[in-house]
Each structure stands twice: as structure tokens, then as C-alpha cells.
Amino acid sequence: MRAGKCRYGMLYAFVLAAAVQLMAGSAFFLHASAEGFSADISGATGWGTTSVTVYREDMSTVGTIEAKEPFRILGRYNEELLQIEYNGMTGYVDTDNILINLPDVEPDIIYNLTNATGSVFTATTERGTTNLKLSIFGDQLYYNGDILDFYNKDAGTEKAGKVWDEKLGKYEFIVPILFTAAERIAAARSMAAADGYNFKIYDAYRTNVATHLMNSSFNSLYDQTGGALVLGGYDTSFYVAAALSAHNIGCAIDVTMVRDNVEVDMPTKMHVLSGDAVLLNYSSGGRMAAELYGQPYSYYESNFAGTMTEDAKRLCAYMIEAGLTGLGSEWWHYQDQAGYNRNSGYYSNLATWYPCQLYASADQSGSQETTATRADAVYQLWAASGFPKSDGELPFTDVTEYDYYYNAVRWAFSRGIISGSSATTFSPNDAITRAGFLNMLYQNFGNPDEAAVAEGSFDDVSTNAWYYIAVQWAAGRGITEETSGEFRPAAVLTQRQMHGFLTRADQSGIKLSANYL
């Protein structure tokens, strides 16, 4: 096999040096410990940013895989080669130009990709705060509720969002990240976990077309406010790239941290394009990632903006120690600059690509018994319905526009498909029951006449139960696993069962969005 190559700052599957570093003025210690990914790499999905050559062990060529084609990663051969399988062809590929689905190897990270179903950015003006709302993966681009531009639906991005991941046994976002960036993210997450923190990722890969739309909209906002945006000395191109973003080639994430399931104190909310959210003072020598590449944490620390919080400094410490690079204008943005340098020339391959499918990965025994939450259920129903337009106000204080299920809850609530757990709460993280999910299906797709003639009968479903008609309807259409005996209405719904209900609903003649089956 080829000799290992030296890559600046690379972190591979070994324990990081015991560099416990006291951060000046921060009153916390950095625990550097990571042993590769937190989950087995076998069965993870990969893609190439460019055409990928597949080698035998003697380094002769087996074949090639075109850019963007999903393949299954079987394991790691050494520091620079992965063993893969693609349509019966097995061999080895170099990691340099490989994207990996991050949730497959880092499932404990919280993924809340606002850009998958319509980004919500906020900008601060001299007169207050204004919203820059992007519904990139619906039909339209919004600025303060007014349509500014349309997106080409033929590009395929209308399929963005959560999909069924067999390796994880649940619905999850697809998050393509350069393999080298994924290693660094895993190392940073391990350090954070040692201190009791977890990561929450709001943005990762996005199309280049989306970047252009965002830049156009942000500059329109700047013009319409007469240049009154408060940008902390930075210009608009620092906040939304004018041409090529590191996000467009899968080497950047927008990330915050949580502790005890609560987001920690950061300078601003996520995606506030404002001088309040800057990582480094504009007067610092380096501001762009290319300028900051290779700088130690001490450089960032000596140039932090005055708005930086202790937890924002922690996040920066984990990321920089793991070999990632910051961006001066945003506290949340970190990227694999070495990966960017290697792959920036391939961005046109991915310009309109949103990866909607995972390779058929091996099922993990028992893993599909993951509990489905109320947020999972309403999001999957919305997705299966084709992402219908959502509007109206929500009374729920525990659902915000920064949650991936926000538009799903708005849609379902406005249609009377769901109600809250109280007058002011939705309880998105609570488990949903089997009866509860079938009732949601019935409220959206049901026909009471079908329920009246259904032949199914269950010993544990009484005729006066609030879910009786929904269960009868589902049984009559063959949506339930059985048509008689026990239904177990109060049992907690699993991700596997939810997937089964949706699949059988589609097979019964209810036309669902095929991407979510």
C-alpha cells in the first residue's frame, strides 16, 4: 500500500496527546482525548466530491465511482485508505476526496439542519432586528415574508430533509462531510463530551446555488436598509460567501453546544448575521479562514470579540485543538481548511446536488427500536405529505423557528392534525404512542366511511376510545401490522413501526413522498 502522507494537523484514530491546556482568563481546562469516531464506520454511506478511483491491495485499479454516487464504507484500511463496496465492486479509496454521512459515525451529535427545509437567518440593523428567511428547499426565497426569488425545483433539492437511515435505525438528516473534516469534528466532540457538552449542528453541506441565493438576498437586505446592517466592521461577503462557501464542498459546519439538553450561553442565537456574533475583532490580522489556517488557539484568544462568552471560547478551543479553522465573522462556523484546499476545485460537481439517498447500509440488529418522538412523528408526516406550505402562529413556547420541525408543527397545528400537550407547549421530545401516530395519519389522510366498514377488530381498542375510528381506518387499509387481536394503542411508537405505517399507507394507495419511505 502507499506510504502515509503528512497532513498538517490531521487527527486519526489514536488518543490525542495529553495536552491539558489552561485557557487564560477562561477558567476551564481542555481535555484532549479522542479515539476515532463514536460509532462503527462499517455501513456508513460515502460519496466522492469528484470521480473516485477504486484500488485493489496491490494498487491496481478496480474501477471508478462517479462524483455524488453513494457507496458503502466497509471499514478503514489505514490512515488514508477506506475499504468500500459499490454495486458488487469492492476495493480501497483514498480519503482525500471522500464525503461521509456524519450521523452514521457520530450519531450522538444533535442535528437540526435548518437549511434542509428553509433557513432562518437574522440580521441586526441600526433600527433593530430583521429576518432573512430562506425557503430554499421549498419553492421560494423569502425576505421578511416577501418573495424575492424562486429556486429551480429541477435541481432536486426539494427532497431535502430527514430520511430513513438503516444504519441508525431511525429518520435522520443526511450530513455529507469530508472524511478528514469528520475526523476532526469527532475529535472535537470527544473533547467536549469529556467536559459534559454535546454538539448541535445547524448547518453543514449546502448547495452552491443556495449560497448564491443567500448572498443575493443578504445584499438586497443591505441595500434596502441603506447599509444600516451592524456588521462589526466586516462586509457582507464575510457572512454569506459571494461565490464559493466551504459549506458547498462539505468541509464546514455551523455548530453550537448543549449541556443537559439545553443550548449553552453563546454571544447570539444561531445564524445572527451581525457584529454581535463575530468571533474575532475586525482589527485582528487574520479574519478569513485562509488567513487563520494553522493559527493556534492562543491567537484566537488574544483577538476574541468582546461579545464572546465563556462557552463560545470553549467551543473555539475544542475546534482549534482538533485541527479545524474558525471564521472571524461568525462564532459558530468552523471548517477543515486543508480539505477545502484539496477539494475547492470540485465544487461544480456538487453545485446543485442535495444527497437524498443513502447507500443500502447493513441493518443493525435491534437498532430500529429507537423511540419516535412527537417531533419525529409530525416531521415525518409533513415530509411524507410533500412538505406542504405552512403558515399561521403557534402558541407553543417550546417550538421555535430554529427547530427543524418548526414548519411541520405549524402545518399540522393549522390543519387540526395535532394539538399541544398543553395550551402553550407541544413537548417535541416526548415519545408518541402507536395510537397517537395513527390518529395523525387519519386526520391527514383518513376517510370516515372507510373506518365504518373496516373489518379489523382489536381486543384492546374499545369503540369509545378517542383513537377508535383512526385505528379501524388503518386496519381496513392494511396500514397496521395486523387486523385483529391486540393493537397495543398505548405502547410507545418506535422508528421502525413509524416507517412501517408510512410504507403500508403508501402501498394502500395513499400517495406519499417516496423519499420518506
Task: Note the pLDDT tens digit of each residue in 73-109.
Answer: 999 998 899 999 999 999 999 999 999 999 999 999 9
The average pLDDT across 427-450 equals 92
Residue 378 shares a structural domain with residue 319: no
Provide the b/e sequence for 179-218 (b: ≥16 CB within 10 Å).
Answer: bbbbbbbbbbbbbbbeeebbbbbbbbbbbbbbbbbbbbbb
| Confidence category of residue 320, pLDDT binned at 50, 70, 90 | very high
Report whether pLDDT(253) > 60: yes
What is the per-residue pLDDT for 33? 32
Question: Is 70 exceeded by the pLDDT of residue 128?
Answer: no
Please report, rounded to a whole number, the percentage of residues in the chain having pLDDT higher than 70: 80
- Decide if pLDDT at 358 tops 50: yes
Distance (Å, whole) CA 372 – CA 437: 10
In the prediction, which pLDDT does 296 show?
97
Say if CB 37 and CB 12 are below 8 A apart. Answer: no
Residues 218 and 332 in one domain: yes
Give the pLDDT confidence score for residue 66 in this predicted structure.
Answer: 95
Tell me what pLDDT residue 26 has: 41
pLDDT of 443 > 90? The answer is yes
The dihedrals phi and psi of 100, each to the nearest 5 degrees, come to: -125, 150
Query: Is residue 316 domain-shared with residue 375, that is, in the same domain?
Result: no
Q: Strand, helix or coil at 490? A: coil
In this structure, is residue 356 part of a structural domain? no
Identify whether 150 is part of a domain.
yes
Task: Tell me, yes or no, whether 253 and 400 share the same domain.
Answer: no
* Residue 131, pLDDT above cutoff 70: no
pLDDT, average across residues 114-122? 69
365 within some domain: no
- pLDDT of the residue at 473: 92
In a domain, residue 174? The reply is: no
- On whether the CB atoms of residues 409 and 388 are closer than 8 A, the answer is no
Residues 147, 281 within the same domain: yes
Looking at the fold, whether 302 and 411 belong to one and the same domain comes out as no
Separation between Cα atoms, residue 324 and residue 204, nearest integer Å:
14
Residue that wins the pLDDT comparison between 249 and 219: 249
The single-letter DSSP state of residue 15 is P
Query: Are residue 278 and residue 413 in the same domain, yes or no?
Result: no
Report d(CA 228, CA 41) in Å as an integer. 48
Using CA atoms, how far apart are residues 293 and 296, in angstroms rounded to an integer? 9
Among 320, 339, 358, the domain boundary falls at: 339
Tally of domains in the chain: 2
- To the nearest 10 degrees (0 to 180), the angle between helices 406-414 and 374-384 is 80
Query: What average pLDDT does the structure give for the chain?
Result: 82
**% the chain with pLDDT above 90:** 52
Residue 312 forms part of a structural domain: yes
* 368 pLDDT higher than 50: no
Mean pLDDT of 415-436: 95
286, 320, 339 — which closes off a domain? 339
Q: How far apart are CA 174 and CA 161, in angstroms?
A: 7
Going by pLDDT thresholds of 50, 70 and 90, the confidence category of residue 154 is very low
Give CA–CA dist 14/312, Å, rounded.
27
Domain of 138 in residue numbering reads as 112-160+180-339
Q: 363 versus 233: which is more confidently predicted?
A: 233
Kindly indicate the confidence band of residue 129, based on its pLDDT and cuts at 50, 70 and 90: low
DSSP-assigned beta bridge partners for residue 101: 176
* Pair (188, 236) in one structural domain: yes
Residue carrying the nine cell digits 448575521: 273
The mean per-residue pLDDT over the stretch 288-313 comes to 96
Residues 328 and 377 in one domain: no
Per-residue confidence at 453, pLDDT binned at 50, 70, 90? low
Distance CA 387, CA 397 (A): 23
Highest mean pLDDT among 7-21, 206-220, 350-364, 470-484: 470-484
| Spatial distance between the Cα atoms of 111 and 205, rounded to a whole number of angstroms | 12
Is residue 208 included in any domain, yes or no? yes
| Whether residue 321 is found in the same domain as residue 402 | no
Could you tell me the CATH number of the domain that includes residue 268? 3.30.1380
For residues 335 and 400, state if they share a domain.
no
Q: Which of 182-186, 431-435, 449-453 has the lowest mean pLDDT?
A: 449-453
Bigger pLDDT: 37 or 231? Answer: 37
Q: Are residues 219 and 258 part of one domain?
A: yes
pLDDT in the model for residue 22: 37
Domain-located, residue 497: yes
The last residue of one of the domains, among 297, 318, 339, is 339
Cell readout for 105 is 459515525
SS3 state of residue 252: strand
Residue with the three cell numbers 454581535: 276
Which triple of cell numbers denotes residue 159? 427532497
Residue 73 domain-assigned (yes or no): no
